[in-house]
Structure 1
């Protein structure tokens, strides 16, 4: 176990701000939808689901829905202003289910009957704790809660969800700006296989070993340390720092099999942990169990913990 002084020293590496290629940061404030004219809810309501759901199209062809029973709203289709892989955006109060996604299983397409009606420019729909509107552009805006606790914006100027992840340092990338997917990063087959293992372009191998707490770690050549440490980790709840990897390293898969590379601009969410592949080949990992977010960032020239 490394000393608290070493953990503190690692946290004092110079600040950095990294963004993945093809992402757009969310607006810093929730959109104001009060100016839009309310559309008749019955035109868009599907009562076949428990509690009802709302489905609509946007003028530029996105298929959208409000699904309060699932705690989410969102849109499927060719999203403007995002990485080409993303074809879905999810608005949710849950940090691990909201944001951009690349998926073959769209969750906001009307499941029965004819196609959803178009929500015209200048109009909005209010249902449960969600509200969605279409502005000139076109620009699609949705909010959750009253007062608003989360929101999403879809436009050629950028497509993203907000607010920024609570408690995250200002100079650390936000998971909201990275693309999740249907891809599995579990290695091999076995009854206890629940921890994703992956590589990033810069050569690190990482594992998210979280389940109501746990550890995330990446091992390989760590730049800028000069002390021989080859593994960076966050334990939640617990310390954050660097260390010499064990034998085998923490990131060793539980079962044999090929380890996949996480593409730049993409993220993995698993049981209270998130890791993001940076566009310089590095990685940022965050644990949000038992307190404020903790984690680390590894770039091509330094390691930073927080």
Structure 2
């Protein structure tokens, strides 16, 4: 439990500031970091301001490296699957957003499947994930994955004990098969403390822009914290294999978790910068007889602003 009301308010404020920073990340470039940090919150303690400055600079540096990685993946035909797992509010979506922010969605795409349909429940368990696997030159990020069976399905009673055990018998072979086929499989578990999850849930409850992130299942997962812990421990123990090991990301500090995860991801591939051909903007062709027709005024969007 969070010790005091003042501490809770302080942490909720910091979480709000993190959300504010998130909205700015795509609006600024590296050369504007100092102006951003010095101009937005002059009353913020200098240590916190310096921390934000360091975060933005490192994030932009790492995102530039991700662009190089993307070009290398395309040039070499490499195939990559990255699995993101963790408790609700652990920060998986935040790091996924930072990875994809400046990349080509045709190269790097996110898969976040809903609960299986009645038909899908009768299929081979891994069947609905297979169509989303990458072709050459693609990176696929799974925001939750086939490990739902080892976590939420086990804890919430959505699978039988036989299905649960069959998953553990099958998943090592499934992942080894992916790796043998030429897919690089990287698995991250985002780890947060009981106290930090409580604070993030409270932040979502009191922020109308984030309430959509809270589902009844999320709230029930909070009550079953210890069951999720036990399920996670079994999952890591039984599916940590040489071909696709687990990597645990300490995630109580969102920004550090993002930087550490992206830095580690970059270290997992021997990418190098791919030379791009120089680009020259061609002159526009103009035709003497061309006339632009007027667009009917009634189809314009009203200029409210």
Shorter-chain TM-score bucket reads: under 0.3
Give TM-score, length-normalised by structure 1.
0.24
Give TM-score, length-normalised by structure 2.
0.24
Structure with greater proportional strand content: 1
Question: Higher relative contact order by CA 8 Å / sep ≥ 6: 1 or 2?
Answer: 2
Structure with greater proportional helix content: 2
